[in-house]
Amino acid sequence: MTIVPIDGKVVLEAVRTAVDRYGATRDELIPILNDVNREIGYLPGEALDEISRLLRVPKSHLFSVASFYRMLSTKPRGKHVIQFCESAPCHVAGGREVWMAVKEALKIDEDETTPDGNWTLVTTSCLGVCGVGPVMMIDDDIFGNVDAKQVQSILARYH
Amino acid sequence: MKAIRSMVLVSSDPKSIENGANDVYQALQHELTSFGLDNEVSLTMVGDVGRHDASPLVIVYPEAVIYGPVKKEDVHFLVEEHLYKGRVAVSLQAPVRELSGRIAWLSARKGTLPAEQRIVLERAGEIDPDSIDDYIIRDGYQAFATALTAMTPDQIFDTLEKSGLRGRGGAGFPTGTKWRFVYKAKGEKKYVICNADESEPGTFKDRLILEGDPHSIIEALAIAAYAVGANEGYLYIRGEYVLAQERIRKAILQAKGMGFLGRNIFGTDFNLELHVHAGAGAYICGEETALIESIEGKRGEPRARPPYPTTHGLWGKPTLVNNVETLANVAPILRNGADWYRGFGPKSSPGTKVYTILGNVNVTGLIEVPMGITLREVIAIYGKGMKNGKTFKLAQTGGSSGSIVPATLQDTPMDFDSFSKAGVALGSGALLICDDDTCVVDLARVLLNFFRKESCGKCNPCRIGTQRVYEILTNISEGTGSLNDLTDLMNLSDNLYQLSNCGLGQTAGAPIRDIVFHYRAEVEAHIRLKVCPTGVCSMSGKRI
């Protein structure tokens, strides 16, 4: 995949904004990581270095936290991230067919990114909108009652 | 203050948004202004009001008329007929269908469903969640004021203990007793935490309470803080619940503005500071010690217990952790008394329970009913029967960590004691109803896939056990299992239960034990005959 080199300044600025917002204390670590992850799309090494310096927390600890939570990523992701719910309620409601359709449409498998860097496909546990399963989330938008036939038109909205 | 004569609500659940709820809202704004009604009619976006068959819904109070599905082209006619001329626009009304329970207009039709009783969801969907005034008008902060000025902590614990309220997070621990433990724990500094890390698959009751009635949780947490002697509290809200976080943050600011939070509340010397802490995507953080670790900025790995959080919790201080639904019961109990609460549900587990109904039924959604209702009633009354006239095969309760309840148990009352006698668990209140097209092996495999991914990896029995069980189930579903696998599955299920550090691993084996116990013939067909009786499994002959 093509990885757009990230600007070191942008990373540092994102980190400083987040630390200013929450304060440089250890109990705000997860909110800070969350903000930086949202801003840049993932947590690059430079970001972890800077957070480590500002919060006086070892980088090994930061990495252990960053790699633990599903919403944080230490690897670059595509422009849009699809989170597909693979929990039982969506599965029973026909989630498997939709999952196959998404994989087919993007020609990638779970945890992969398309060669053009547009899409990353990940599975997730329940998103809490089970009343309208099968459910998938693209960036911050939730799509419910998804049908395998609708997949193409939903994806087409993101370009 | 403006004199409002009508209230218009627009549903904004994901389905409604997809079907154009935003356009309808804007069109309503436009039409109300052009008819000159914007001063006497209020317009509000509300959350999920339950009728997904006709979304987006527009509900007009005080008549409680439900319109749906409403398109933006219909709005002009609707406003002209109903709000300007005062006639119900019959052609736009939502098709009549009996209640799914999770509906905003329930109070207008109270009595049509004898079983429905709303305590926790009393206001959700009926008030503007962003308005503290709406909450106060509906008895809001009354219980907190009474508790703070006229009750001692002991009286609060007594009332809660007498009411019989038990934790709704899954374990069912008596709430009053837990509060008393924290109160008695030694230490100057104490914390209260609301566990809103709702990640149990199929459960979204907490989201609804937080989004629909955020002040009720803040009020309950404030009562808890006063009772146990804490002056700092956290609401740990799941990272994915962005709207819930926003609403709670806003509600905290409003409560501070009114003097319900902050310093010298109601003129007493009680101070309270509340923080919102967003999660980052980890099921295990719903476990209370993992949640505490996560607030401390660490990996969400459960601690060894004892000591329990009641004595050694956040930063090692005595900490009270309560689930959202549990807290939502507190203010109503203090307002109406313990005897009132005991009037609902069976003796051993009084009160109501919020269930989410999912899967192969005609109407999915959320209901709040007294404890002790049976599955057959839930499916027939609230689910409106099985989809496509299929037969009920099993229900999976309480999200992934619940049990598989076979059709033979569908007349067992669903309360803590009856269910544990029958060897099944109530769990968090999700009811995944499956018809006879569901393959038990496939279902168990999906459930175990969840545990395998969400296991935090701290203890070996859970990390390795869930992975191994998943592999065996996959082999069975591919037609390459052996009868020895069944013995292995039972042993692993037992090991998971006996050896795991926390509830995740301890319950992960439950679905396995259940399917082998209740559906052994179906599982053996996969192994002996290499056939999936329901035709769901791929049976490709692959082996991991």
Which residues does chain B have within 8 Å of residue A26's beta carbon, measured at their own beta carbons? 296-297
Integer Cα distance of B324 and B148 in angstroms: 21
Task: Report the pLDDT value the prediction gives residue B114, as an integer from 0 to 100.
Answer: 36
Record: contact B297-A30, CB cut-off 8 A:
yes
Are the Cβ atoms of A70 and B447 closer than 8 angstroms?
no
CA-CA distance, B291 to B303, in Å (whole number)? 10
Give the integer Cα–Cα distance in Å for B102 and B341: 21
| pLDDT for the residue A2 | 45
pTM for this predicted structure: 0.80
Segment 35-94 of chain A within 8 Å of chain B by CB: 57, 61, 64-65, 68-72, 86-89, 91-93
**Exposure string (b/e) for A43-65, b if CB count within 10 Å is 16 or more?**
bbebbbebbbeebebeeebbeeb
B464: tokens are: 């390795």
Burial of A9 by CB count in 10 Å (0-12 exposed, 13-18 middle, 19+ buried)? exposed
What is the pLDDT, as a whole number, of residue B96?
Answer: 56
- Looking at the complex, does the CB of residue A27 fall below 8 Å from at least one CB of chain B? yes
**Which class would CATH give A80-156?**
alpha beta
Tell how strand A136-138 and strand A141-143 pair up.
antiparallel
All residues of chain A having their beta carbon less than 8 Å from the beta carbon of residue B447 are 88
In the prediction, which pLDDT does B48 show?
63
**Helix, strand or coil for residue B365?**
strand
Whether this model's ipTM surpasses 0.95 comes out as no
Q: What value, to the nearest 5°, has the Cα angle with vertex B195 and ends B511 and B369?
A: 65
A138 touches chain B (CB under 8 A): no
Check residue B263 and give its pLDDT: 92
Q: Spelled out in words, what is the top-level CATH class assigned to the domain B6-97?
A: alpha beta
Within a 13 Å sphere around the CA of B277, how many CA atoms are in the beta-carbon half?
26
Q: Which of B273, B16, B330 is nearest to B156 (CA)?
A: B330
Residue B449: list chain A partners with CB under 8 A: 86
Distance from CA of B447 to the nearest CA of A (A): 6
**CATH class assigned to B440-529:** mainly alpha
User: B132-339, superfamily in CATH?
Assistant: NADH-ubiquinone oxidoreductase 51kDa subunit (3.40.50.11540)
State residue B366 phi and psi, 5-degree precision: -130, 135
d(CA A47, CA A37): 9
Q: How far is CA B390 from CA A91, B378, B387, B404, B436, in A?
A: 18, 16, 6, 19, 7
User: Which residues of B fall within a CB distance of 8 Å from A129?
Assistant: 13-14, 204
Enter the tokens of residue A95.
């989630």
| Per-residue confidence in pLDDT tens, chain B, 544 aa | 456 677 788 887 778 888 888 899 999 999 989 888 888 887 877 766 656 677 888 877 666 677 888 988 989 988 888 888 888 888 887 765 433 333 333 333 333 333 456 778 778 777 888 888 888 888 889 899 999 988 999 999 999 999 999 988 767 789 999 999 999 999 999 999 999 998 888 888 888 899 989 999 999 999 999 999 999 999 999 988 888 999 999 999 999 998 899 999 888 899 999 999 999 989 899 899 999 999 999 999 999 988 999 999 999 999 999 999 999 999 999 999 999 999 887 777 788 888 888 889 888 888 888 777 888 888 888 888 888 889 999 999 877 778 899 988 888 888 878 888 888 877 778 899 999 999 999 999 999 999 999 999 999 999 999 999 999 999 999 999 999 999 999 999 999 999 999 889 998 988 899 899 999 999 999 999 999 999 999 888 888 7
- Which residues have CB under 8 Å from A84's CB, separation 6+? A95, A98, A99, A102, A121, A122, A123, A124, A136, A137
What ranges do the domains of chain A cover? 8-66, 80-156
A27: distance to nearest CA of chain B, Å? 5
Residue B246 burial (C-beta neighbours within 10 Å; 0-12, 13-18, 19+): middle
User: Domain segments of chain B: what residues?
Assistant: 6-97, 132-339, 352-435, 440-529
Instruction: Look at the block and give the residue holding tokens 């004691």.
Output: B417
- Residue A134: phi and psi, rounded to 5, are -70, 145
The topology (CATH level 3) of B352-435 is: Ubiquitin-like (UB roll) (3.10.20)
Residue at B378: amino acid letter = V
What is the distance in angstroms between the CA of the first residue and the CA of the last residue of chain B?
A: 69
Residues in B closer than 8 angstroms to A93, CB to CB, are 358-360
Mean pLDDT of A61-86: 91
Instruction: Give the whole-angstrom CA distance, residue B239 versus residue B279.
Output: 4
Closest by alpha carbon to B468, among B440, B442, B443, B496?
Answer: B496
Least confidently predicted of A1-10, A121-130, B104-113, B427-436: B104-113
Which pLDDT score, from 0 to 100, does residue A93 have? 86
The β-bridge relationship of strands A80-85 and A136-138 is antiparallel
CB contact under 8 A, A34 and B278: yes
Residue B27 identity (one-letter amino acid): A
Residue type, B84: Y
Distance CA B11, CA A111 (A): 34
Q: Using the beta-carbon criterion (under 8 Å), do A130 and B358 form an inter-chain contact? A: yes
Q: Which of A90, A129, A130 to mutate to test the interface with B (most CBs of B within 10 A)?
A: A130
